[in-house]
Amino acid sequence: MASTSLPAPIITNPTLPSSKGFEQKELGYGFSDLEPYIDTITMETHYGKHHAGYVRKLNAAIEQEPKLSGKSLEDLLMGVSGLPDSVKKAVRNNGGGHWNHTFYWQVMSPDANGTKPSDELRMAMMETFNDMESFQEAFKKEALGVFGSGWAWLIKDKDGKLKLTGTPNQDNPLMDVTEERGMPILGIDVWEHAYYLKNKNMRGSYVDSFMKTINWEFVSKMYAS
């Protein structure tokens, strides 16, 4: 049975809709800036078509249930099991899609090289994974283990412990329909649309490339929040 309690820690910067509904944040870097790790066409399509589509469909669902308007995206996701049946599935899929992609674009950075986990995060990672190499192996294994479309996450659970987990489709660990709940601090999209143009069916080579784009300053910030 899905738990109704909120995951702790609660997000400190909720994603609020404007008068026009939810909007995509600017990417913050160019479509070609993650080359050679993530290719330009994938970024362009992924941000401009896939992510934009989730936002459009999320807003269309909220319009059908005006009492949900004005709620933060995190509130909607943390209470998704209790939403009206008319919009539950649409909010789960498209609200999840909007949150997950907004997060994913920030995890990656063209300036990732040289960023490092904060001392606090490094200690927590050592405690859970022993060393960075073992973490990378475990993270890759989690990403490869997601069957079909979904995401792999590093989360901070309600006791502050780090954990790896995977979710199907656009689910994420904030949702009250998810088994392993917690605050995502790192996440990778393993839908084929995230890598197929460049890596074809080689998810592992995409995961290796993705690892080189991780902005550890962002991950550390999420861990501290």
Residues in touch with Mn ion (CB under 5 A): 50, 189, 191
Nearest to 101 by CA among 76, 78, 72, 73: 73
- For residues 92 and 170, the answer to whether their CB atoms sit within 8 Å is yes
Nearer to Mn ion, 75 or 189 (CB): 189
Nearer to Mn ion, 50 or 71 (CB): 50
- For residues 13 and 222, the answer to whether their CB atoms sit within 8 Å is no
Nearer to Mn ion, 66 or 148 (CB): 148
- For residues 104 and 163, the answer to whether their CB atoms sit within 8 Å is no
Nearer to Mn ion, 100 or 215 (CB): 100
Smallest gap from residue 189 Cβ to Mn ion (A): 4
Smallest gap from residue 101 Cβ to Mn ion (A): 6
- What token pair was written down for 30? 């160019």
Smallest gap from residue 104 Cβ to Mn ion (A): 7
Collapsing DSSP to helix, strand or coil, 189 comes out as strand
Smallest gap from residue 190 Cβ to Mn ion (A): 9
Q: How far is the C-alpha of 76 from the C-alpha of 222, rounded, in Å?
A: 20
Which residue in this structure is represented by tokens 């996440």? 187
Smallest gap from residue 67 Cβ to Mn ion (A): 29
Maximum Cα interatomic distance, the chain, rounded to a whole number of Å: 49
- What is the number of other CB atoms lying within 10 angstroms of the CB of residue 161? 12
Helix 132-145 to helix 203-211 angle (10° resolution) is 140
State the residue number with the nearest CB to Mn ion.
Answer: 189
Nearer to Mn ion, 99 or 223 (CB): 99
